[in-house]
Structure 1
């Protein structure tokens, strides 16, 4: 397995794609199964035991809500479990330059 490179990406999607991703995520959370998602061209596997949080930020004339899933990079103990459906496909990539710390973060 290739080493994981630090990454901090924000990707915009059409509403229909967001709805589909959220439905698959909700199904995976409800059934306590791992979840696979493709964000800006990279396939990401979210383990079933990932921590889910909702974040709200306000400042500089705008507000933001983020749905976050976090887990430790070495915490893939449920690797052999079935993943929720197939990966999503992206049509456009948008990378930013800063790195994320010790946990993967999938903002869906």
Structure 2
């Protein structure tokens, strides 16, 4: 009794495509949440994600021989 139990989430690396209209909707909700200093909630591949207001935002560009990629990234430490 009184033993501390720490539950950790399994590592996950998921990439999910969305139709253009749904992608735009998610971006608008994200922008509204950031602008209003509110937590952003999103469901990705069946899992609900809660992005805290303390998250950091970056934009990444990658290039290879035949492909280019722009990633809008949101990162935060779990508490």
Q: TM-score, structure 2 length as denominator?
A: 0.88
Supply the RMSD in Å over aligned alpha carbons. 1.3
Moved over 6 A (4+): none
Q: Counting helix residues as a fraction of each chain, which structure ranks higher?
A: 2
Q: Which of 1 and 2 has higher RCO (CA within 8 Å, sep 6+)?
A: 1
Aligned residues: 74
Q: TM-score, structure 1 length as denominator?
A: 0.65
Indicate whether 1:10 and 2:18 are aligned. Answer: no
Instruction: Say which one has the larger Rg.
Output: 2
1:32 corresponds to which residue?
37
- Structure 2's unaligned 5+ residue stretches are 1-5
SS state at 1:72 partner: coil
Measure, in 2, the Cα distance between the counterparts of 1:67 and 1:11. Answer: 14
- Structure 1's unaligned 5+ residue stretches are 75-108
